[in-house]
Amino acid sequence: MADSGATSLAGLAEIADIGRDRKRGGYSRHLFDDADRELREWFVERATRIGLGVERDRNGNLWAWWGAPGPNALVTGSHLDSVPGGGAFDGPLGVVSALDAVERLVRGGVRPDRPVAVVVFAEEEGSRFGFACLGSKLVAGQLSPERARGLTDASGRTLAEVAAGAGLDLAHLGRDDEALGRIGLFVELHVEQGRGLIHRDAPVGLAASILGHGRWRLTFHGQGNHAGATLMSDRRDPMVAASALVAGIPGVAAAYPGSRATVGRVTATPGGVNVIASSVDVMLDARAECDDTTRALVAAIGELAEQCAADQGCTAELVEESWTGGVRFDTGVSTALSGALGGVPALASGAGHDAGVLAASVPTAMLFVRNPTGISHAPEEFAEAADCAAGVDALEAVLRSQLGG
Ligand code: GLV
Ligand code: MN
Ligand code: MN
Ligand code: MN
């Protein structure tokens, strides 16, 4: 196993040129764009080389099977898509490590007593259609096919159009009891996105929980007008209202200890430099350990939005776009896996994951690999080769502990 780090990073090296974002830095890989297509082709080729049989489910997720697909399967994997300008590890590390770990079992002559699969979930980040964990939520029935079909991307294309172009049969989108019913245990390996393993001085850990989180759209409506001809006193400018809200959010969040509230995107309509906007959309991401806290935080932000809007003669509207409740991973499963690893730290995750979605339906666990920068969703996200190797070793050990033969 001396070369396992190189093996793990070799997988990342194979896809290193796919979806590089020359403008923002890092990677932009979004559902059914050119990069996503290339990554899917790479996955099929790589899995086939190991001897796995790949199928795409009716929601666009890929499953590479060792042995015939069937019940009580041991499933591992993650996602290949990214946020705009994201890092190289969030998602792909879990897929590459899963392929490496399964390849070792295949080459090591293990004869599994249950089906084994490597899965790639579609659009985990929600970067194209605005809905995080799209593929896993469709499978688990946590997103209705009707809602999914109508989701639109930045160019106004619907998911229905884009998915049909990629060959998905839209009549069969949605809850997939067959796919779900096959999973006996799902273990997702992921680069850590915070500093938990740095603080614990450990290369690998297990997830204990995930913060509940959601996305909300706050729309400020004002009066579109001419930037030169309109006196400052005559304006109803929704951008000024939106700015006041964004500036006030840290103060509101401070009243809810441990909560996180982020505005990562503000869109002015129509968006001309010499035009006072007629409306401004502010996308809010809010999270907290307790779901009631997140709800209270969002309500307080909504109240501040109304006040900021009124101050500018505008109106504000708050709409929930998506919500994932907080997750506590099955302690029985995590204890067993930690035992197989000789004891590793348990971490709370501030980031969302497909494993968090599946945890509501099937036994699920997560492994984290240390990120020495503590930065994620940015090009600086990182994992040392030795820690990647430790991650593959841990995943292999976990899979072995769940298999006979
Ligand atoms: C996904 O990475 C999220 O937590 O937003
Ligand atoms: Mn992510
Ligand atoms: Mn991820
Ligand atoms: Mn994520």
Q: Do 250 and 334 sit in the same domain of this protein?
A: no
Q: What pLDDT is attached to residue 253?
A: 98
Given ligand 1 and candidates 27, 131, 353, which is best to mutate, with the most ligand atoms within 8 Å of its CB? 353
Q: Do 195 and 83 sit in the same domain of this protein?
A: yes
Kindly indicate the confidence band of residue 8, based on its pLDDT and cuts at 50, 70 and 90: low
Q: What is the mean pLDDT of residues 176-188?
A: 98
Q: Do 389 and 352 sit in the same domain of this protein?
A: yes
Residue 106 class from Cβ within 10 Å (0-12 exposed, 13-18 middle, 19+ buried)?
middle
Ligand 1 atom nearest to CA at 124: 1
CB 351 less than 6 A from any atom of ligand 1? yes
Q: Which residue has the higher pLDDT, 327 or 2?
A: 327
Quote the Cα angle for 190-193-197, to 5°. 85
CB 189 less than 6 A from any atom of ligand 1? no
Q: Do 313 and 341 sit in the same domain of this protein?
A: no
Q: What pLDDT is attached to residue 148?
A: 97
Q: Do 331 and 319 sit in the same domain of this protein?
A: no
The CATH number for 353's domain is: 3.40.630.10
Given ligand 1 and candidates 27, 80, 81, 125, which is best to mutate, with the most ligand atoms within 8 Å of its CB? 125
Q: What pLDDT is attached to residue 122?
A: 98
**Nearest bound ligand to CA 191?**
3
Ligand 1 atom nearest to CA at 285: 5
Kindly indicate the confidence band of residue 3, based on its pLDDT and cuts at 50, 70 and 90: very low
DSSP 36-77: HHHHHHHHHHHHHHHTPEEEE-TTS-EEEEESS--TTEEEEE
The CATH number for 261's domain is: 3.30.70.360
Given ligand 1 and candidates 83, 190, 323, 371, which is best to mutate, with the most ligand atoms within 8 Å of its CB? 83
**What letter would DSSP give residue 227?**
T
Structure confidence by residue, pLDDT tens digits, 193-250 = 999 999 999 999 999 999 999 999 999 999 999 999 999 999 999 999 999 999 999 9
Q: Please say if the pLDDT value at position 68 is more than 80.
A: yes
Q: Do 271 and 168 sit in the same domain of this protein?
A: no
Given ligand 1 and candidates 128, 210, 287, 377, which is best to mutate, with the most ligand atoms within 8 Å of its CB? 377
Q: Please say if the pLDDT value at position 162 is more than 60.
A: yes
CB 357 less than 6 A from any atom of ligand 1? no
Q: Which two tokens stand for residue 18?
A: 């796919």
Q: Do 216 and 351 sit in the same domain of this protein?
A: no
Count structural domains, the chain: 2
State what percent of residues in the chain have pLDDT above 90.
97
- How far apart CA 405 and CA 403 sit, in angstroms, is 7
Structure confidence by residue, pLDDT tens digits, 249-292 = 999 999 999 999 999 999 999 999 999 999 999 999 999 999 99
Cβ(93)–Cβ(388) below 8 Å? yes
- Residue 351 CA to ligand 4 center (angstroms) comes to 6
Q: Which amino acid type is present at position 3?
A: D
Q: Do 385 and 297 sit in the same domain of this protein?
A: no
Q: Do 150 and 267 sit in the same domain of this protein?
A: no
- Residue 125 CA to ligand 4 center (angstroms) comes to 5
Q: What pLDDT is attached to residue 404?
A: 74
CB 143 less than 6 A from any atom of ligand 1? no
Tokens 């614990």 -> residue: 200
Kindly indicate the confidence band of residue 405, based on its pLDDT and cuts at 50, 70 and 90: low
Q: Which residue has the higher pLDDT, 4 or 39?
A: 39
- How far apart CA 233 and CA 326 sit, in angstroms, is 46
Write down which residue in 324, 351, 378 finishes a domain: 324
Q: What pLDDT is attached to residue 353?
A: 98
Q: What is the mean pLDDT of residues 385-398?
A: 97
- How far apart CA 302 and CA 315 sit, in angstroms, is 11
CB 125 less than 6 A from any atom of ligand 1? yes
Q: Please say if the pLDDT value at position 367 is more than 60.
A: yes
Structure confidence by residue, pLDDT tens digits, 285-340 = 999 999 999 999 999 999 999 999 999 999 999 999 999 999 999 999 999 999 99
- How far apart CA 278 and CA 290 sit, in angstroms, is 36
Tokens 């603080």 -> residue: 199
ipTM of model? 0.91
Q: What is the mean pLDDT of residues 365-382?
A: 98
Question: What CA–CA distances, in Å, run from 47 to 4, 186, 192, 263, 370?
Answer: 17, 18, 25, 38, 26
CB 281 less than 6 A from any atom of ligand 1? no
Domain range spanning residue 225? Answer: 212-324
Q: Do 21 and 54 sit in the same domain of this protein?
A: yes
pTM, entire model = 0.95
CB 212 less than 6 A from any atom of ligand 1? no
Q: Do 333 and 380 sit in the same domain of this protein?
A: yes
CB 192 less than 6 A from any atom of ligand 1? no
Q: Do 59 and 155 sit in the same domain of this protein?
A: yes
Looking at every residue in the chain, the average pLDDT score rounds to 96
Q: What pLDDT is attached to residue 1?
A: 35
Write down which residue in 324, 339, 355 finishes a domain: 324
Q: What pLDDT is attached to residue 244?
A: 99
Ligand 3 ion: nearby residues, β-carbon < 5 Å:
90-91
Kindly indicate the confidence band of residue 9, based on its pLDDT and cuts at 50, 70 and 90: confident
CB 134 less than 6 A from any atom of ligand 1? no
Write down which residue in 324, 350, 381 finishes a domain: 324
